[in-house]
Homo-oligomer: A and B are copies of this chain.
Amino acid sequence: MTSETPAHPRLTVQVVLRWGDMDAYGHVNNVQYHRLLEEARIRAFGEWFHASGGDSMLRSGVLLARQEIEFLEQLTYRPEPIDIEMWVTQLGGASWDMGYEIRDGDALYARAESTLVAFDLASQGPRKLTSDERAALTAALGEPVAMRRRR
């Protein structure tokens, strides 16, 4: 049978909250969700681009071009890390989209999606993804982000 689902392509990274992520409402502030996503994404780069030297994407440069997030549950500080699952949702020549879910077991706090553009810090312009980078991102390609509401 060929209907076997492929190996689940999601990468799960544990991100540690800080008490200072909370705002005057006593919940993790909406802006800090983006900080948590940034941290998870940077750790994902280390995994996905391991063959290309780990932090190569960060060193050569990468820009965030677009981000979308749906906040589903309020999150309160605790010392235990949360899980951020990440996968690739679309792949272009110089850019890719990636999805995120901020989770703790069954609880789903937020869904998000980013568009990233490979950037050349020297020329200050976009650059083509290398074949190693494309291979890594292709292996992480998964389903669209299940946003509840999209304009």
Contacts and interface: CB of A to CB of B under 8 A. Distances in A.
A26 interface: yes
A8 interface: no
A22 to B, nearest CB: 4
Nearest to A76: B24
A25 to B, nearest CB: 7
Q: How would you classify the secondary structure of chain A's contact residues: helix, strand, loop or mixed? A: mixed
**How many copies, total?**
4
B61 A65 contact: no
Given A30-B38, A31-B38, A79-B43, A149 B66 contact: yes
A19 B46 CA distance: 12
Interface in A107-148: 113, 115, 121, 144
A65 B110 CA distance: 10
Interface string A25-58: 1100111101100110011001000000000001
B64 A67 contact: no
A16 B20 CA distance: 13
A35 B20 contact: yes
- 8 tightest Cβ-Cβ pairs between the two chains A and B: A22-B24, A68-B68, A31-B34, A16-B16, A30-B64, A19-B42, A24-B26, A18-B39
